[in-house]
Amino acid sequence: MKGEIAVMGIVLCVLFAGCVQQPEDETIKIGALLPLTGEVMIWGENTKNGMELALEEINKEGINGKEIEIIYEDSQCSPSKTSTSIQKLISVDRVNVVIGEICSSATLAAAPIAESNQVVLISPGSAADSISEAGDFIFRNYPKNMQITESVIEVLDNLGRNRIAIMYVNNDYGISLKENAEKIFAGEIAIAEAHDQKATDFRTTLAKVKEQNVDAVFLATYYTDGALILKQAKELNLDVLFVGPDVFDDPEVVKIAGNAADGIIFSTVKPGAGPAFTEFSSKYKNKYNKEPGFLADFGFDALNVIAEAMRQGNFEGEEIKNFLYDLKDYPGASNTITFDSKGDVANSALVIKTIKNGEIVLYEAD
Amino acid sequence: MIEAYILHLLILICIYAILAMSLNLITGYAGMLNLGHAAFFAIGAYTSTLLVMAGFPFWFAFLAAAGMAALFGVLLSIPALRLRGDFLAIATLGFGEIIRSILLNWTELTRGPLGIPGIPKPELFGFEFGALHWYFVLAFAVTVATYFILRKILAGNFGIVLKAIRESEPVSESLGKNVKLVKIQAFALGACFAGLAGSLFAHYITFIDPSSFTLAETILILLMVTLGGMSSLKGSIAGAIILILLPEPLRFIGLPSAMVGQLRQIIYAGLLLALILKRPKGLFGEKWFKGIVSEG
Amino acid sequence: MMAVEVKGVSKHFGGVKALDNVSFSLRQGKTLGLVGGNGSGKTTLLNVITKMVVSNKGEVWFNDERIDTMPAYKIARLGVGRIFQTGGIFNNMTVLENLLVAANAEREEAEAVLREVDLHEKIDDKAATLSGGQMRLLEFGRVMIRNDELILLDEPFAGVSEANTKKIERVVRKLQKQGKTMILIEHDSRRIKRLCDKIIELEKGKIIREAKA
């Protein structure tokens, strides 16, 4: 009997709590789905910091005299927890727009619920290509894997490389890059080898690559494993062109690889230090006493474009959606934002860089 | 509108109630600690998903999910049951990880870490279970069916034999019981229902990837079983209700936004601890469970 | 016909020889008394016959069928039953359930059997509430509901009250009248004379005496 009473008690608590939530009219509510705890909580925290920075400024003037209130839900990068969180944000908090999630799998779980409720979902951190097809109400201001792949392939094409090897990290990011490359690269992919995200020894793979006599190696990796690959390639006397995405735009690469990093060519879809970013960066340092971490600028921009939509009188999901599709060249900290018909940020100008004498510089063709 | 949120929670409760009951069958009633239960959940989810997306009707995919999971239940238990107690538990843990690894790496079949989005809602006799309340009806029906089927099986001879095996395997053998076969059957049956839960999960969330089927998931289900009381089907349902609902009231307490994530976790853990300490046998536990510890 | 034939069975645990080249045969319907000091190998012999323990050498035959190569449950299904020295009853199950696990029977059949061992009033009680002697009788109930042909009894009278001892002897006699074959481990020499047809004495795993009772 005691058991049944305990269960009833908890059920009643939840129902009561839910009913007691009075819709407040004094603030404009926006939902946020972020991994605030768990393995990737640093990304969630950074995004939140960026959003809070934007919020501060927005609420100085308010929107028609009202403040924006962000209701944060800790979705922990988990599809099922995300679905519960967004269901609560939509049906209990009655939000019309949700910023989130960071992990692609979580975003993909949230998308159908947002779509069927005509609530705008904008992800500041998900790169999976399939999100482009997730619905009309689904947006993201973070570059998707296909865009990253296209930028690297463009470099390869520009340099006339026809026979390449791919070394990729064995997760959704690396696998997407590799599969996308297989789809769009006109030349030959002689060999494609996966490695674990935490791997540190790539000699076996590099030996295989050496045998293949390719004219370039596409590194679909992060900067740590990428830098180690460069280092070990040099040790094995593997003299070939390495190309990669913008993860290599990081001084850590030279720290790890030393002079083996020289010669790598990489593309960036994210222009990085434009004036908007510099301004954002200094405001961030003022408020938080540290450099903006990964995704902080994306969170900042996501909230700002939503606030912009609201300033122009768009509060319903349908209205915000239309505004976003019409948005052109918004000067964001992370990027100049124009959304394409799929809700992704259209490619900004490609910037190609290289490492020369231990320095990251713009690439100039000889 | 709040009904959408409530219905969502109820659907999750149904899915986890089925998972908890099915794990209870293996671990509570048959006395085998199974740390790989999420693998059966995963096999059910992926089987159902792949079949429906290949054009098979939902009812077929649903039953196939149960069948595939049961098959793997047998495949796991045949070698694993040579081991006793703790070693059996470790074998099941290994199995769980192997399945997850296969799902992660067999990208041609499962898309690996990219997961499978866009899973269609179930369709039966031309009717689509798209709306939340209809999905709840479906999930609830499966849960009720699971409860009554398991109750019937356990009330009969099978249940008595399981009880005997829990108390003493050698004496059970001396009474003509093929203990190994009975255990394999228990595993297969438990796996079968976990597979059904997997199908319900996949078609509800409409996106699956290996990250939803980790050891942490098994431990959550095990927690539901323990909290509710081993060897009590009603207890497993209660455990599912409590653990799904427990974090929810915390969303409504105004916690300082800087610490909201961490504070909720701490409070949740605290409540869980309090519950376990207050009722160590579980809410519906009849007696202190013995049998998990190595025999002899 | 020879119901039981044990041929050259040896079993050692570590360095200790529990059974050393034990051979004997037992006619159907006869009762064998197994005697010997502590650790002489009596219980081990029963364990080998029922496959609770695997012998190192030798063969065991039951009704002209070799059983030492079979798994324990198969041997039990051939009609070999056992009364254990300790722990033979499932304490957390009811008296009725203890019988039903032995044979797929209806409640009426179980009631009838329980009447024969004088336990029908406790049919729905937890087995743990029974006295030592009652538990023994319940084990006999199991043997009866299974209709076992060969019954191995490991000191069924040890620690049992006067009243229950009489009941147990009555049951043993009844089973003997039904033509069951039995192996009885027992210390009381008068009881052995009363109940057994022949005797085997073990010492340190070896048969040192085989005689008519």
A19: which 2 tokens? 């009913």
Instruction: Say how far apart CA B91 and CA B109 lie, in whole Å.
Output: 25
Q: Find chain A residues with C-beta within 8 A of B257's C-beta.
A: 70, 72
Quick one: angle between helices B2-23 and B179-205, nearest 10? Answer: 160
Summarised one tens digit per residue, pLDDT across range A46-75 is 999 999 999 999 999 999 889 999 999 999
A127 inside domain: yes
Partners of chain B (3+ Cβ pairs below 8 A): A, C
CA distance C127 to chain B (A): 12
Q: What are phi and psi of C83, to 5 degrees?
A: -105, 120
Minimal C-alpha gap between B167 and chain A (Å): 26
Q: What is the pLDDT of residue B295?
A: 31
- Whole-Å CA distances, B40 to A354, B107, B206, B209: 48, 19, 18, 14
Which of A96-100, A350-354, B192-196, C149-153 shows the lowest mean pLDDT across its residues?
Answer: A350-354
A299 touches A49 (CB < 8 A): yes
- How many domains would you assign to chain C? 1
Do A131 and A279 lie in one domain? The reply is: yes
Mean pLDDT (whole number) for B232-256: 87
The distance between the two most distant Cα atoms of chain A, rounded to a whole number of Å, is 83
Distance of CA B46 to the CA centre of its chain: 15
DSSP per-residue codes, A336-352: EE-B-TTSSBPP---EE
Is the model's pLDDT at B260 over the cut of 80?
Answer: no
Closest chain C residue to B289, measured at CA: C92
d(CA A351, CA A346): 15
Give Cβ neighbours of residue C32 (< 8 Å, ≥ 6 apart). C4, C24, C26, C182, C183, C184, C196, C197, C198, C199, C200
With beta carbons less than 8 A apart as the criterion, state whether A341 and A324 touch. no
* A101 and A23 belong to one structural domain: yes
Assess A51–B contact: CB distance below 8 Å, yes or no.
Answer: no
With 0-12 CB in 10 A as exposed, 13-18 as middle and 19+ as buried, what is A61? Answer: exposed
CA distance B176 to A65: 81
- The residue to which tokens 């009363």 are assigned: C194
The pLDDT score that the predictor gives to residue C193 is: 92
C76 at interface of B, judged by CB pairs closer than 8 A: yes
CA distances from A202 to A209, A231, A355 (A): 10, 10, 21
**Shared-domain flag, residues A96 and A107:** yes
pLDDT in tens, A239-289: 999 999 888 888 888 889 998 999 999 987 665 557 888 899 999 999 999
- Is the confidence at residue C129, as pLDDT, over 90? yes
- For residue A65, tell me if it sits in a domain: yes
* Whole-number Cα distances in Å, A290 to A279, A282, C45: 14, 9, 79
Does the beta carbon of C140 lie under 8 angstroms from any beta carbon of chain B? no
Shortest CA distance to C181 belongs to which of C80, C110, C96?
A: C80
CB burial readout C43-58, b (16+ within 10 A) else e: bbbbbbbbbbbebeeb
Test the C interface: residue of B29, B169, B171 with most C CBs within 10 Å: B171
Q: Closest Cα of chain B to C87: distance in Å?
A: 8
- Is B173 touching C (CB cutoff 8 A)? yes
Q: Sorting pLDDT into bands at 50, 70 and 90, what band is A349?
A: low
Tell me how long chain C is.
213
**What number of residues does chain B have?**
296
C-alpha span between B293 and B282 (Å, rounded): 18
| B294, pLDDT greater than 70 | no
Residue B289 has pLDDT above 50, yes or no: no
Q: Do A83 and B8 touch (CB under 8 A)?
A: yes
> Are there at least 3 beta-carbon pairs closer than 8 Å between A and C?
no
Model pLDDT, residue B84: 83
* CATH code where residue A125 lies: 3.40.50.2300
Rg over CA atoms, chain A: 23
CATH code, C18: 3.40.50.300
Same domain, A224 and A355: yes
Quote the tokens at residue A316.
């319903």
Cβ-Cβ contacts under 8 Å, C142 against chain B: 175
For residue B92, what are its two tokens? 């099941």
pLDDT in tens, C133-186: 999 999 999 999 999 999 999 999 998 999 999 999 999 999 999 999 999 999
Residue in A74, A88, A130 closest to B117 by CB: A130
DSSP class of residue C126? B
What is the tens place of the pLDDT at every residue in A184-241? 999 999 999 999 888 999 999 999 999 999 999 999 998 889 999 999 999 999 999 9
Q: Is any Cβ of chain C less than 8 angstroms from the Cβ of B296?
A: no
- Are residues B172 and C101, on separate chains, in Cβ contact within 8 Å? yes
A366 CA: distance to closest CA in chain B (Å): 39
Among C52, C71, C97, the residue with its CB nearest the CB of B160 is: C97
Task: Give the closest-approach CA distance of B205 to chain A in angstroms.
Answer: 6
List subunits contacting chain C, requiring 3 or more Cβ pairs under 8 Å. B
Return the higher-pLDDT residue of A79 and A276: A79
Looking at residue C86, the DSSP 8-state letter turns out to be S
Q: How many domains does chain A have?
A: 2
Largest Cα separation within chain C, whole Å, is: 51
Minimum distance, in Å, between the CA of residue B272 and any CA atom of chain C: 29
- Asked if residue C34 lies in contact with residue C189, where contact means CB atoms within 8 angstroms, the answer is no
d(CA C175, CA C29): 9
**Do A151 and A258 share a domain, yes or no?**
yes
Distances (CA, A) of A259 to A230, A233, A264, A304, C167: 9, 12, 11, 41, 95
Do A154 and A236 belong to one domain? Answer: yes
Averaged pLDDT, A123-135: 94
With beta carbons less than 8 A apart as the criterion, state whether A184 and A129 touch: no
* Cross-chain Cβ contact C101/B174 below 8 Å: no
Confidence of residue B290 (pLDDT cuts 50, 70, 90): very low
pLDDT at C87: 85
Within a domain: A29: yes
Domain match, A206 and A303 both: no
- For B156, residues 6+ apart whose C-beta sits below 8 A from its C-beta are none
Q: What is the ipTM of this complex?
A: 0.92
Cα distances from A301 to residues A140, A278, C67, in angstroms, run 11, 14, 79
**Contact status, residue A86 vs residue A4, Cβ threshold 8 Å:** no
**CA-CA distances (angstroms) from residue C183 to B102, C28, C149, C180, C206?**
55, 11, 11, 10, 17
Q: Which chain B positions have a beta carbon within 8 Å of A77's beta carbon?
A: 211
Are both A37 and A12 inside the same structural domain? Answer: yes
For the cut 60, the answer to whether the pLDDT of residue B296 exceeds it is no
Residue pair A240/A331 in contact (Cβ under 8 Å)? The answer is no
Q: Is B156 on the interface with C (CB under 8 A)?
A: no
Q: Does the beta carbon of B207 lie under 8 angstroms from any beta carbon of chain A?
A: yes
The domain in which residue C23 lies consists of 2-212
SS3 state at C101: coil
Query: What does the pLDDT look like over B122-154, one tens digit per residue?
Result: 999 889 998 999 999 999 999 999 999 999 999
Task: Find where tokens 């295989």 sit.
Answer: A208
Query: Of A97, A85, A77, which is closest to residue A138 (Cα–Cα)?
Result: A97
With a cut of 90, say whether residue B255 has pLDDT above it: no
- B283 with A6: Cβ contact below 8 A: yes
> Is B160 within 8 Å of C50 when comparing Cβ atoms?
no
End-to-end CA gap in chain B: 57
User: What was the pLDDT predicted at B181?
Assistant: 96
Using CB atoms and an 8 Å cut-off, which of residues 282-311 of chain A contact chain B? none
Asked if A203 reaches chain B (Cβ–Cβ under 8 Å), the answer is: no
Whether B159 has its CB under 8 Å from any CB of chain C: the answer is: no
Classify residue A27: in a domain, yes or no. Answer: yes
Domain that holds residue A185: 146-268+350-362
